[in-house]
């Protein structure tokens, strides 16, 4: 078959921000979406998709740059894909994220909106993540300037992140600005040790290799957890590697390893082995009330907000929107390890958490005990199945519902269940304003949106959290 000729448009002015990290231009009435550009850039675009009314393009040459641009601080920017917006000042990033929420609410939600609060920006815009997972691989992603150099070999062992759009190539990372030290020191030392000792690095196509991934978790308490995920059960190599890490990095509070010979990287059906320490770390969050500090036990597979300090802000807003007086029964849907329910528990009569992942529910129960929260109960299963008349008769109907679904949003059956329950207040926490707006459109049958608060959890990325308060009509 003949390949379609690529269309290149010259001197295209990028006019505005669209959503999900894309900006837009208009050429002869057609809207063109492009990544890697910002409003004010003048570029030549190669069209990757070309429909009747819209197209998607990639910049092939910059004629001039937007005045809004700043110099990215990371040497890997534009290659690893972890931070898409370092070329924008943080204030501009917040402006575009606020715009994204507004556009989603109006265009997809099609609902009457109150005046939106200004986005809550992060105090720390670097080294803010408490969890990262690095990949070890035997194929290095080549930079654009290296592609035609026959002397450069991509078949070398590297440690970093998957290159965006390439499942089998890894960007070799020297320094990542997302997580505080000792994360970079550990990764670079482990990589060098493995190479010096001839340990094979994972080949994702062949599902073969000893060094696979490394998960690093840090806490505001100073504790550090490292879980080495290894593709072979070679216990001599495992002992050598674990011993090296333990003596080289006394700052590692707990050190684990996990054997994974599967083709996927999921750890939830595997069993981490504790080599050193307790097997978990403890994180702390402040509620902002009476110096109250909550403590959460975090294991290698626990879910926890990836930005602890902004997580506190997110939960404080959620607590405020819940309008609790101490007399309410609160249902925490998609409760995970129970962090939101526990965070608001002092202001509620009872907390009922529902989560499909059994391990997360067990973590939630333990976290409730750690924080002396005796009026919280957590249940494993689907909300649609659990929340029936018999359950309400035993535990009470909710006065307030807090829901924090994944990016796909709530299942339509759950939206219908919430409409059926008719709690007086619903607080919808979302990491995807588009699917949140879709669900709000369905909830408008019985609910009015009364407050909206965007929160930036992940500076220099396109991601945005949004908290919405709904009141029963």
**For strand 131-137 and strand 211-218, is the pairing parallel, antiparallel, or unpaired?**
antiparallel
Residue 167 sits in the same domain as residue 47: no
How many other C-beta atoms are found inside a 10 Å radius of the C-beta of residue 75?
A: 12
Q: What is the CATH number of the domain that holds 37?
A: 2.40.50.140
Please list the pLDDT of the chain residue by residue as tens digits (473 residues): 455 678 899 999 999 988 778 899 999 889 999 988 999 999 999 998 888 889 999 999 999 999 999 999 999 998 887 898 999 999 999 999 999 999 999 999 998 899 999 999 999 999 999 999 999 999 887 676 665 555 566 779 999 998 877 778 899 999 999 999 999 999 999 999 999 999 999 999 999 999 999 999 999 999 999 999 999 999 999 999 999 999 999 999 999 999 999 999 888 889 999 999 999 999 999 998 888 999 999 999 888 999 999 999 999 999 999 999 999 999 999 999 999 999 999 999 999 999 988 888 999 999 999 999 999 999 999 888 888 889 999 999 999 999 999 999 999 999 999 999 999 999 999 999 999 999 999 999 999 999 999 999 999 999 999 999 999 99
**60/202 same-domain check:** no
What order do you get walking across the sheet with 170-172 strand by strand?
170-172, 158-162, 131-137, 211-218, 224-230, 254-259, 273-276
Looking at 281, 300, 326, the residue that finishes a domain is: 281
Catalytic, out of 83, 176, 335, 431: 431
The answer to whether 42 touches 36, Cβ cutoff 8 Å, is no
Say if residues 69 and 38 touch (Cβ distance below 8 Å). Answer: yes
CA dist., res. 273 & res. 300, Å (int): 10
Q: What is the pTM of this model?
A: 0.92
Range of the domain at 322: 96-124+283-472
Return the SS3 of 22: strand
- Residue 235 and residue 115 share a domain: no
Contacts of the segment 443-446: beta carbons below 8 A, 24+ positions apart: 443/415, 443/418, 443/419, 443/470, 444/111, 445/419, 446/419, 446/422, 446/472, 446/473
Long-range contacts (CB closer than 8 Å, 24 or more residues apart) made by 195-198: 195/157, 197/237, 197/240
**Are 28 and 119 in a shared domain?**
no
Task: Choose one of 227, 259, 281: the last residue of a domain.
Answer: 281
Which residues, in sequence order, are bridge partners of residue 427? 402, 469
Answer yes or no: is 90 within a domain. no
Q: What is the DSSP letter of 374?
A: T
Question: Phi-psi region for residue 29, left (φ > 0), alpha (ψ -120 to 50) or beta?
Answer: left
CA distance linking residue 5 with residue 351, whole number of Å: 60
Q: How far apart are CA 46 and CA 85, in angstroms?
A: 21
Task: Match 């040790």 to its residue by tokens.
Answer: 193
Dihedral-angle region of residue 336 (phi above 0 means left; psi in -120 to 50 means alpha; beta otherwise): left
- The answer to whether the CB of 159 falls within 8 A of the CB of 135 is yes
Per-residue tokens: 375: 């009026």
Q: Does residue 82 fall inside a structural domain?
A: no
Closest CA to 154 of 167, 144, 140: 140
Residues 110 and 144 in one domain: no
**Do 235 and 353 share a structural domain?**
no
Question: Are residues 215 and 193 part of one domain?
Answer: yes
Does residue 431 have an active-site annotation? yes
């Amino acid at each position: 078959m003949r390949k379609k000729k690529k269309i290149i448009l010259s001197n295209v002015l990028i006019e505005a921000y669209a959503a999900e990290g894309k900006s837009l231009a208009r050429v002869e009435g057609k809207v063109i979406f492009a990544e890697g550009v910002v409003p004010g850039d003048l570029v030549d675009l190669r069209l990757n998709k070309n429909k009747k009314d819209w197209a998607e393009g990639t910049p092939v040459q910059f004629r001039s740059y937007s005045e809004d641009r700043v110099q990215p601080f990371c040497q890997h920017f534009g290659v690893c894909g972890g931070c898409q917006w370092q070329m924008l000042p943080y204030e501009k990033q917040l402006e575009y994220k606020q715009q994204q929420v507004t556009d989603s609410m109006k265009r997809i939600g099609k609902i009457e909106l109150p005046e939106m609060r200004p986005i809550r920006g992060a105090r720390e815009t670097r080294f803010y993540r408490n969890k990262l997972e690095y990949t070890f691989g035997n194929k290095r992603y080549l930079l654009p300037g290296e592609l035609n150099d026959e002397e450069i070999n991509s078949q070398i062992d590297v440690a970093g992140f998957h290159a965006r759009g390439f499942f089998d190539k890894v960007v070799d990372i020297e320094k990542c600005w997302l997580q505080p030290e000792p994360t970079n020191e550990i990764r670079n030392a482990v990589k060098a040790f493995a190479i010096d000792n001839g340990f094979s690095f994972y080949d994702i196509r062949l599902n073969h290799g000893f060094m696979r991934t490394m998960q690093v978790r840090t806490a505001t308490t100073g504790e550090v957890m490292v879980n080495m995920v290894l593709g072979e059960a070679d216990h001599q190599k495992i002992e050598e590697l674990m011993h090296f890490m333990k003596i080289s990095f006394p700052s590692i509070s707990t050190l684990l390893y996990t054997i994974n010979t599967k083709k996927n990287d999921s750890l939830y059906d595997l069993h981490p082995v504790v080599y050193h320490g307790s097997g978990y770390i403890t994180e702390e969050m402040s509620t902002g009330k009476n110096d109250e500090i909550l403590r959460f036990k975090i294991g290698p597979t626990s879910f926890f907000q990836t930005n602890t300090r902004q997580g506190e802000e997110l939960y404080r807003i959620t607590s405020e929107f819940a309008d609790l007086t101490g007399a309410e029964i609160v249902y925490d849907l998609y409760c995970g390890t129970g962090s939101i329910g526990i965070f608001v528990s002092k202001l509620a009569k009872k907390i009922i958490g529902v989560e499909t992942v059994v391990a997360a529910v067990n973590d939630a129960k333990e976290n409730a005990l750690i924080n002396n929260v005796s009026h919280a109960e957590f249940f494993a299963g689907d909300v649609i199945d659990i929340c029936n008349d018999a359950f309400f008769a035993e535990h009470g109907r909710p006065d307030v519902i807090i829901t924090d679904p994944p990016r796909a949003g709530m299942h339509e059956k759950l939206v219908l269940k919430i409409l059926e329950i008719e709690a007086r207040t619903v607080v919808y926490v979302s990491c995807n304003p588009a699917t949140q707006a879709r669900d709000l459109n369905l909830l408008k049958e019985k609910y009015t949106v009364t407050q909206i608060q965007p929160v930036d959890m992940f500076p220099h990325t396109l991601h945005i959290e949004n908290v919405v308060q709904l009141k029963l009509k």
